[in-house]
Amino acid sequence: MLKELGRGLFTTFKMLVRGPVTTQYPEEKRQVRPRYRGRHVLKRYENGLEKCIGCSLCAAACPADAIFVEASENTDEERFSPGERYASTYEINMLRCIYCGFCEDACPTEAIVLGDNYELSFTDRRDAIYTKDFLLEGVPSPEMTTPQKVEPGVFTRSVPEMLDPQD
């Protein structure tokens, strides 16, 4: 009897020695895993142009039908992204999204990426629809914001050339 009772006390004592495993969440956040699928981010090139070309492949791939894309024409006077077209409307309904990451896989320009933000709360159903302004990542410097006025004939390819086509 005494041995078993002692073992019980020892088990909890070990926990006392080991210390608490609690993470004090709002103050202290745990690093997410490298392949964590959080909220989407629309990426930009180094020069500030948007990677998204408004092709709607993400919307086609989306099993939950959460993404809505509307494309418009780029001009060299007002250029948003390389190539002919850009996404003038880009909306994700976060109530529908299942964070499967198919949009990320479907994107030909690697424009949409599932980031590490998991703090998605809203108080209204309308707030659940994340618009392009919200999803688009920031620019490195203020003059790089879109639309840009560029030299004609530079940004003609909408999909960048592959670094290693064999890959």
Partner 1 sequence: MDWTIWLEWAIKSLVLIFTLLIGFGYLTYYERRFLALLQSRLGPNRAGPQGLMQWMADAVKLIFKEELIPAKAYKLVFILAPIITMVPSIVIAAVIPWGPNVNLFGRDISQSIANINVGVLYLMSIASIAVYGIVLAGWSSNNKYAMMGGLRSSAQMISYELTLGLSFVAVILLGNSMSLVEIVEAQRDVWFVVLQPVGALILWVATIAEVNRHPFDMPEAEQEIVAGYHTEYSGMKFALFFMAEYQKMIVVSAILATLFFGGYREFWFLKDTFLSVDRVPFLGPIYMFAKLVVLLGIMIWVRASWPRIKYDRLMAFGWKILLPLALAVVFITAVGILLAQEVNPWLMWLTPILSLFAGWIATLMVDRTIRRKNYA
Q: What's the token pair of residue 70? A: 């509307």
Minimum distance, C-beta of residue 24 to partner 1, in the bound complex (Å): 8
- Indicate whether 13 belongs to the interface with partner 1 (CB under 8 A): yes
Considering the complex, state which of residue 20 and residue 165 has its C-beta at the smaller distance from partner 1: 20
Considering the complex, state which of residue 11 and residue 166 has its C-beta at the smaller distance from partner 1: 11
Residues 21-40 that bind partner 1 (CB under 8 A): 21-22, 24
- DSSP bridge partners of 86: 72
Minimum distance, C-beta of residue 11 to partner 1, in the bound complex (Å): 7
The count of residues interacting with partner 1 (CB under 8 A) is 16
Task: Tell me the pairing of strands 67-73 and 129-130.
Answer: unpaired
Query: Binding residues for partner 1, per CB under 8 A?
Result: 1-2, 5, 8-9, 11-13, 15-16, 18-22, 24
